[in-house]
Chain A
Amino acid sequence: MKHVVVVGGGVAGLETASILVSMGYQVTLVEKEDVPGGHVKRWHALFPDVRPAAEVLAAILEKSEKGIRMQYNTEITSIQHRSNRYALVASNGWQVEADAVVLATGFELFDARKKEEYGYGIYDNVITSADLEDMFIAGKGIHTLQDKAPQRVGFVHCVGSRDEKAGNLYCSKVCCITAVKQAIEVKQQLPQTEIFCFYMDLRMFGRHYEELYKEAQEKYAIQFIRGRLSEASEDKEHRVVLKVEDTLLNKPLKIAVDLLVLMSGMVASKQTQAFRDELGMTKDEDNFLKPVDGILHSNLSGVEGVFFSGTCSGPKNVADSLADARSAALAVDKYLK
């Protein structure tokens, strides 16, 4: 029986692995943490239908319980080609051999500290979109560091994306709709709170995204201001004071918010980049993995027997990651047959 190793136990890795099992392959899934689920397990609800992330994850995990060999707490550090097979070695000394390798090594969130002028890690009440999901999951309400319910919340789009100064020219795709979703969730919990989204372009590319945007305006009175944050400062009351240009009014605008949420973008994970270099795969400008052909062969790495699944080859939402993961399984099957 042919053996496939899937590196990374996020939703993409899990989906590819469970499909390969159903196709009759022996599959080992290697995950660096002690639980599966990757980024999705840190999410409270998914856009656009604000559906519990835990429910989606549970459905994916249920399939994966059947027949995948799960190897947790193991971080693969080296993948080497040895006459038609691959030898994988982990930092804890664990080793395995495979006939094919699927990279499902995903993404990391952009480290918002790098945008120093936005004050993450400096001011009390600047958090990231991921921190806000943590707050939703904790279930103790939306609050400032001073434990007050915010009267005004600001969302800053494109943090670490579409920004030459941050070294990332690309759009992370999911953060516009995430901001809209999170703004609605905050408003549902705090109906009196004023909410502002600061954006350059609103990219509602997915099905039902535009509708959610309209709902945010119509039902929740979220305000959208077209201007990119230039800098933030902190006042005596620990509020965050923002400087943007209201570009549609052609005037600089100053506004204090009690909580500022930075929509951190997606960057290629360090592990992804390390494998790319070790296996001699082409480096794409954005550091994500570059498929042989982005339209026709999005799962082929260009290295025989090595395949991509999910966000290691670029920003994707959960649905697109899963679709990509399924097509990765087909590509592996075609190769091993």
Chain B
Amino acid sequence: MATIRQFGYQVSKDRQIDYDNNSRNLIRKVLEKEPSLNNCISCGTCAATCSAALYTDFSLRRLILLVRRGETESLKKETAKCMLCGKCQLVCPRGVSTRHLILQIRYQLQESGQKTEF
């Protein structure tokens, strides 16, 4: 029997953040190691100063929000864009330890072995 897909239709992936089903594991582990993540006010100073953000669509401000909401799917790809130069740390008005935070996210993702498992 012909399915809807064969007629060229697609089932769109739900865009909403499924907060109830998203896992809290990553944010819990990262916060343990780098509690200053909680101080972020999404001002974007880090992203404005970031050399990586100029050429890629990377934003540390956005990355932090993805971690907070448990939207982990793209994280491995995202964190790979950071060059760990530390410029963001110099400008952050809330004293977020940005470099260590990114390293922790990378580390925790690596530990888990699977980028979508969290």
Chain A residues packing against B (C-beta within 8 Å):
117, 158, 162-166, 200-201, 226-231, 243-247, 250-253
**Contact of A250 with B57 at beta-carbon distance under 8 Å, contacts A243-B49, A245-B47 already known:** yes
- Docked complex Cα distance between A165 and B50 (Å): 18
**Do A245 and B59 touch across chains, with their CB atoms under 8 A apart?**
yes
**Do B45 and A230 touch across chains, with their CB atoms under 8 A apart?**
yes
- Docked complex Cα distance between A49 and B88 (Å): 39
14 contacts between A and B (CB under 8 A): A164-B92, A165-B92, A165-B95, A166-B93, A200-B93, A227-B45, A228-B44, A230-B45, A243-B49, A244-B44, A245-B53, A250-B59, A251-B57, A253-B48
**Do B43 and A227 touch across chains, with their CB atoms under 8 A apart?**
yes
Residues of A within 8 A of B48 (CB): 227-231, 243-245, 252-253
Q: Min CB distance, B43 to chain A, in Å? A: 4
- B81 near A: Cβ within 8 Å? no
Contact among A117, A164, A201, A229 for B94, CB-based, below 8 A:
A164
- B115 near A: Cβ within 8 Å? no
- Docked complex Cα distance between A162 and B40 (Å): 12
**Do A250 and B93 touch across chains, with their CB atoms under 8 A apart?**
no
- Docked complex Cα distance between A246 and B57 (Å): 13
**Do A250 and B49 touch across chains, with their CB atoms under 8 A apart?**
no
Residues of A within 8 A of B61 (CB): 245, 247
Chain A residue nearest to B88 in the complex (CB):
A230
Chain A residue nearest to B53 in the complex (CB):
A252
- B91 near A: Cβ within 8 Å? yes
- Docked complex Cα distance between A163 and B45 (Å): 11
- Bin chain B's interface residue count: 20 to 34
**Contact of A245 with B94 at beta-carbon distance under 8 Å, contacts A250-B59, A250-B62, A252-B53 already known:** no
Enumerate the 7 nearest inter-chain pairs by beta-carbon distance, A residue then B residue, closest first.
A245-B44, A230-B48, A247-B44, A245-B47, A230-B49, A228-B43, A245-B48
Contact with A along B24-42 (1 / 0, CB 8 A): 0000000000000000011
Residues of A within 8 A of B90 (CB): 165
**Do B43 and A247 touch across chains, with their CB atoms under 8 A apart?**
yes
- B54 near A: Cβ within 8 Å? yes
- Docked complex Cα distance between A156 and B11 (Å): 45
Q: Min CB distance, A325 to chain B, in Å? A: 32
- Docked complex Cα distance between A166 and B91 (Å): 10
- Docked complex Cα distance between A336 and B11 (Å): 79
Residues of B within 8 A of A253 (CB): 48
Chain B residue nearest to A242 in the complex (CB):
B48
Residues of B within 8 A of A243 (CB): 48-49
- Docked complex Cα distance between A229 and B62 (Å): 17
- Docked complex Cα distance between A287 and B54 (Å): 39
**Do A200 and B43 touch across chains, with their CB atoms under 8 A apart?**
yes
Contact among B57, B59, B93 for A228, CB-based, below 8 A:
B93
Instruction: Give 19 A-B pairs besides A247-B47, A250-B59, A252-B54 with Cβ atoms closer than 8 angstroms.
Output: A162-B93, A164-B92, A164-B94, A165-B91, A166-B93, A200-B41, A200-B43, A201-B41, A227-B43, A228-B48, A229-B45, A229-B48, A230-B48, A230-B91, A231-B48, A243-B48, A244-B45, A247-B61, A251-B57
Within 8 A of A (CB), among B45-96: 45-50, 53-54, 57, 59, 61-62, 90-95
Contact among A164, A231, A245 for B93, CB-based, below 8 A:
A164
- Docked complex Cα distance between A251 and B93 (Å): 19
- Docked complex Cα distance between A200 and B45 (Å): 10
Chain A residue nearest to B41 in the complex (CB):
A200
- Docked complex Cα distance between A227 and B48 (Å): 8
Residues of A within 8 A of B95 (CB): 164-165
Residues of A within 8 A of B92 (CB): 164-165
- Docked complex Cα distance between A201 and B93 (Å): 13
Residues of B within 8 A of A250 (CB): 57, 59, 62
